[in-house]
Amino acid sequence: MRQRPIGTATRGTTNPNRLRRMDRWIAATHGPALRRSDSPVAVDLGYGAAPWTAVELLERLRTAEPRTAVVGIEIDPERVAAAKPYEREGLTFVHGGFEIPLGAASGAGPAAGSGAGRPALIRAANVLRQYDEGEVAAVWQRLCARLAPDGLLVEGTCDEIGRRHVWVALGPEGPRTVTFATRLGSLERPSDLAERLPKALIHRNVPGEPVHAFLRDFDRAWAAASPYASLGARQRWIATARALSSDWPLTDGARRWRQGELTVRWDALRPNTS
Cα end-to-end span (Å), the chain: 42
From CA 71, how far away is CA 175, in angstroms rounded?
Answer: 23
Beta bridge partners of 177: 169, 265
pLDDT (0 to 100) of residue 12 = 62
pLDDT (0 to 100) of residue 9 = 75
pLDDT (0 to 100) of residue 4 = 83
Flag residues of the chain having pLDDT under 70. Answer: 1-2, 12, 104-116, 274
pLDDT (0 to 100) of residue 7 = 80
Domain spans in the chain, listed from the N-terminal domain onward? 20-172, 186-248
Question: What is the per-residue pLDDT across 70-102, written as a single tens digit (0 to 9) for each?
Answer: 999 999 999 999 999 999 999 999 999 999 999
Pairing of strands 91-95, 41-45: unpaired
Please give the full DSSP string across 85-144, using - where no structure is assigned: GG-BTTEEEEE--TT--GGGGTTSSTTTTTTTS--SEEEEES-GGGS-HHHHHHHHHHHH
Please check whether the domain covering 20-172 is classified as CATH 2.80.10.50. no
